[in-house]
Homo-oligomer: A and B are copies of this chain.
Amino acid sequence: MDERRRYVVLTEGFITDRHAKTAFGVMRYGRDEVVAVIDSSAAGKRVSDFHPHLRCEAPIVASIADALRFKPTSLLVGVANAGGFLPPAFRPYVLAAIDAGLEVVSGLHEFLNEDEEFCTRARLSGATLWDVRRPPERIPLFSGAAYRVPHVVALAVGSDCAIGKMTVMLELEEAGRVAGAHPEFVATGQTGIMIAGKGIAVDRVISDFVTGASEQLVLDVSAGTDVALVEGQGSILHPAYAPVTLGLLFGCAPDILVLCHRAGQKTVEDFDVTIPDLRSLARDHERILARVKPARCVAIALNTAELDDVHARAAIAAAEAETGLPADDVVRFGAAKLWAAVARAAEATEKRQPAR
């Protein structure tokens, strides 16, 4: 779908619940438009009445029929609960959306495309069902074509999972656009895909094809993009998920790395792996890439959410002193400074010629 979607976001009963974070992510960062929200408990209000920071003025309505007035193209299942199952209260809305011919988009573990009733009704109405976690059917093996893309590729890497790598790249995308550039966020995980409207959940791809999937993602950016900002996954320090991280490192063939870290975190969560100093960690990434497709770490994105302003500024200054690289918390202080670092590095990048 090249056109932007016009989303009805289904949050029925969850408009103020953290499990609607998928919906909030799409409202705050999404490239597609949110034209209405369905939540019968809050019908008549607007999203901004509950969540002013999301910058979303969409009206809240009580039914698919009401939402159709806003000419939506798609229904987004806006909740990610623990089990990954569709909440029973959502089912009638999904069916009504299917009957109305809307595309239905879901990030749940339970695939819409494996639900017999949804599939049958979708065949009748012509509606499409998009399970964003399901990788495409035919992913080619890595070919080396990623070495020849015309745009610069920047990849977020980090000291652990769930430290804000996606948010960093989304904030950099906004800052780049404000600065007049044409960056594009490239989604590699479920929430990122819903925000971007496209992408591949690389951790769900068969391991032989994770580099191929990563390559397809950087080949598939919009025409005119100057910098692809690829959402990272996992960490090279993570005993369980490092292979996915390496799949992005080799498959995206990045020119530039942005190193993300939660200020003060000493070990990888769940495992007793010590996180080295940021300078060493940056160098580790550069070394792994050096023999295959070199890239430089050009900025440090710190997540200082757990610190007060004074300590946040001190942590940023310390990271800069230690690494000699620009550092910032892009959520707290904006992404202009780190975007400038990425843009400088991008300008200095000579896209390397075919390695194959």
Query: Which A residues are closer than 8 A to B by beta carbons?
Result: 141-142, 144, 202-208, 210-212, 236-237, 239-244, 246-247, 250-251, 253, 270-274, 276, 284, 287-288, 291-293, 355-356
**Complex: A250 Cα to B292 Cα, angstroms:** 20
Q: Which of A144, A203, A246 has the most CB of B within 10 A?
A: A246
**Taking A246-B246, A276-B291 as contacts, is the C-beta distance between A270 and B239 under 8 angstroms?**
no
Write the nearest CB–CB distance from A219 to chain B, whole angstroms.
15
Further 5 A-B residue pairs, CB within 8 A, beyond A207-B247, A208-B240, A239-B293: A204-B208, A206-B206, A210-B243, A242-B292, A272-B356
**Would B243 and A247 count as touching, CB distance under 8 A?**
yes
**Complex: A204 Cα to B210 Cα, angstroms:** 11
**Would B270 and A356 count as touching, CB distance under 8 A?**
yes
Chain B hits for A270, CB < 8 A: 356
**Taking A211-B242, A244-B243, A250-B243 as contacts, is the C-beta distance between A205 and B206 under 8 angstroms?**
yes
Nearest residue, chain B, Cβ from A247: B243
**Complex: A291 Cα to B242 Cα, angstroms:** 12
Task: Please name the 8 residue pairs, one residue from A and one from B, whose CB atoms are nearest each other, closest first.
Answer: A142-B240, A203-B208, A243-B247, A243-B243, A207-B210, A207-B207, A243-B246, A272-B355
**Would A355 and B142 count as touching, CB distance under 8 A?**
no
Chain B hits for A237, CB < 8 A: 291-292
Chain B hits for A202, CB < 8 A: 207
Write the nearest CB–CB distance from A188 to chain B, whole angstroms.
11
**Complex: A272 Cα to B210 Cα, angstroms:** 20
**Would A244 and B207 count as touching, CB distance under 8 A?**
yes
**Would B244 and A250 count as touching, CB distance under 8 A?**
no
**Complex: A253 Cα to B239 Cα, angstroms:** 9
**Would A207 and B355 count as touching, CB distance under 8 A?**
no
Chain B hits for A293, CB < 8 A: 239
**Taking A144-B239, A207-B203, A243-B246 as contacts, is the C-beta distance between A356 and B288 under 8 angstroms?**
no
Nearest residue, chain B, Cβ from A201: B208
Q: Can you show 27 pairs from A to B with CB atoms below 8 A apart?
A: A141-B240, A142-B239, A202-B207, A204-B206, A204-B207, A204-B208, A208-B244, A211-B239, A211-B241, A212-B240, A237-B292, A239-B250, A239-B292, A239-B293, A239-B355, A240-B250, A242-B246, A242-B250, A242-B292, A243-B243, A243-B247, A271-B355, A273-B291, A274-B291, A276-B291, A284-B287, A287-B287
Chain B hits for A142, CB < 8 A: 239-240
**Complex: A151 Cα to B54 Cα, angstroms:** 54
**Complex: A272 Cα to B292 Cα, angstroms:** 8
**Would B243 and A207 count as touching, CB distance under 8 A?**
yes
**Taking A237-B292, A288-B288 as contacts, is the C-beta distance between A211 and B243 under 8 angstroms?**
yes
Q: Which of B144, B207, B211, B251 contacts A205 (CB 8 A)?
A: B207
Chain B hits for A274, CB < 8 A: 291
Chain B hits for A247, CB < 8 A: 207, 243
**Complex: A49 Cα to B244 Cα, angstroms:** 48
Chain B hits for A291, CB < 8 A: 237, 273-274, 276, 284
Chain B hits for A242, CB < 8 A: 211, 246, 250, 292
Chain B hits for A284, CB < 8 A: 287, 291
**Complex: A41 Cα to B126 Cα, angstroms:** 56
Chain B hits for A210, CB < 8 A: 207, 243
